[in-house]
Chain A
Amino acid sequence: MDDFDKNRAALINRPLDSSIAIVLDRYSPVELGTQVTVRQFLAHVHAVAKLLPEQKFAINLCENRYLFMMSFCAVIVKAQTNLLPPNKKIATQEWLIKKYTDVYVLHDSHIKGVGLNTFIDTDQEQESPLAEHLSINVLDADFGIDNEISHIPRILLSHLAAISFTSGSTGESRPNEKSWRTVVESSQINAFNMLGEPQGLHYQLATVPPQHMWGLETSVLLPLFVEICVADIKPLFPQDIYDALDALPAPRMLVSSPIHLRSLVKSNIAGCSSNTSSINLILCATSPLSSELATNTESLFCAKLREVYGCSEIGSMAIRETSKSSAWRLFGGICFEQDKENKVFASTQYLPNKIEISDEIDMLDDNLFILKGRSSDMVDIAGKRGSLLEINQVLLKFSELVDGVVFVPESESNVRRLAALVVLPSHISVNEVKAYLKKHLDNAFVPRPIIKVDALPRQDSGKLPIARITELYRSLIKDK
């Protein structure tokens, strides 16, 4: 038996009869309202594993959180690797297939449940670039089977469980490799620092997608290791979030982002005063949360809110109670070091290398720091972070472009978007540039507006100061 092999760790570190997921998606193949036990979950994992081809890499595009989690584990049990793209664009899939070659796609595309998203974000309606036998629908698995599950698979710690990609553009995304050891150890650190001491089973609702680091860490990986029963849906609108919370047993926790919390607070729906939607804990990440929004969210749900800070290479690293403190407390298990040039490097036991943090940080002591500024290249649009440099390079690759720039305009709006100024030959329209960018950029990063101009206000040296761009942009907007 390999049970005592110290080179392996269990796929799930929970009793077989505890609840790991709850079905609230009415389009799920599992009956609505079911609390899936670890035993049933493992039976489903084995059923999906039987469907999988003998390729090394699986692009996991499942929308339903339970089906994602099940496929994620099936891929690992088959000793394969999950590829977690930042979006579902065909161009992204083509790039992954070219880079990793031995690839198939896992999806659950019959599920249109709470997927208003599936018609709003139309990425996946295009043809898959892969042959039919390499496009696996997990809904084809036999969910009725009653596999006798008596033990939990143990996974080699060195196995490459997943590779996440966080860039908003389709090309040159930096891969972040997660071995099973990284998954296990980072989840233990996350559980302890986000949740504190174990407090019994909590029911979790998450509004963020399972493929992205924040959603993956909290709504997919935590339930494998601590007493969390996660809802399989990803509600978008405030009323949907309230309805989902009402359908969950207490005690509840919510995993979200500032975008969703802001719409909850502003929606004028009665929160915990209605006595139904009380939550024990709210975890928020992806973009900076104001202390005002944190305070309003806490009073709306009569809950404690913890905000988490992370980077794409490591994941979650620090936490604060935003309504009470502006300083971040580093997770036990993560170290920050500042060099003479004030650059900050993060290290942890499960990563071989130190990671440079791109944000500007002021260390108060070994464990406390203030986030002074985000790196100027990194833009944050609706909770998604992308490199302005990379986004500009995508624009510059548009073959008919004479000159162009993508920038962050001054805006008083709540929804911040990028804007672009482009110089084009007379027969090329702005709509052609927009169509090209939509193919190659995450929707959130497609500039709006894209304005055609005669020339960019470059200096004689060729430099393009932001002040000049802003000035031109302002005059164009005024003229509209």
Chain B
Amino acid sequence: MMNIERIRNDFPVLHQELYGKPLVYLDNAATTQKPQCVIDTVRHYYERDNSNIHRGVHTLSERATAAYEASRETIRAFFNAKSSKEVIFTRGTTESINLVASSWGGANIGKDDEILITHMEHHSNIVPWQMLCKRTGAILKVVPMNQAGELDMDAFASLLSERTKLLGVVQMSNALGTINPIQSMIQQAHAVGAVVLVDGAQAAAHMPVDVQALDIDFYVTSAHKMYGPTGVGVLIGKQALLEAMPPYQGGGDMILMVTFETTQYNDLPHKFEAGTPNIAGVIGFGEAIRYIQAIGFDNIVPREKVLLNYATVQAQNFDGLKQIGVAKEKACVLSFVMDGIHPHDLGTILDREAVAIRAGHHCAMPVMQFYKVPATARASFSIYNTEAEVDALFAALTKARDMFA
């Protein structure tokens, strides 16, 4: 059992008032708050260990390198990657996808090849592929979805062919909360010889992922949606794929030997980590993962389900509210529109009630186009949210409805 009060006490930011009311933070799909242990870890690094990694022979550099590489091992184990060589640190999910699109895509995609994505992708899993298609003459195909916000699996099967070179699919939609059946999708994509990239930005804090069991070729996610720092994320790729790929960026750390005539690239994972990385961020990321592990998905998954159900029942009974995204398999996200009140007005009104939600297109404009709405309001939940906070959300929505009545 999870003790929510104890978890809340780990997050200093939650304990404040806005406009005289206790903060209700329901924008976790945008970014999660950070527990004290992550803040302390980052602070400790800057106060005691700050130095550059992989080069110094002095004590601080050795400490920083050890902590940085320990994070790599923590993250490897968390996602059950085969080797820490398969764990590449990046600036986040967006950079991880751009790395794959640029490096793997540049080497493997040609004219008339097909890249398959889905209608519910975040812009970061659309635009890099569009750019690749523009460069190479490849074709971008899109798996459609139904009104509930579930992928059309028949259409998916018929879109797959030997021309499909890559499937890019979001594990959990940030705009809808839908959890996609990635296991089956990966198997079908592999059957036609396609490589699969899974965008785990939204999912990784909320459900366990085993990249070997799922046979995922590329898995990408961001630390900041997992209680870690912003500006750091990871690309986990199969070693054979990563070894065959050319470097993404050139610079320090990614080389073994440089002359003006030629450069010998470093081994994995360093080949893809040019320049001084976000050392504090990576170390903080590792601590965030340990924080999740200490609570455990056995506790997190059922608890977050209970809370989403609690919110969903209230949403269903709320006059004038229409949910956007009612997939059977979903988690942590309540996206909605309200009759006669634009989501941005809702966002402002709720803010003055100290309820933080997201209003907008959630970087998923094609999802908005599908539902023919300019924007939605989105409440998104995390391990530290409570039933009382859901009640506060709906009390604030009642106030908004009354204002526009």
Whether chain B is bound by chain A comes out as no
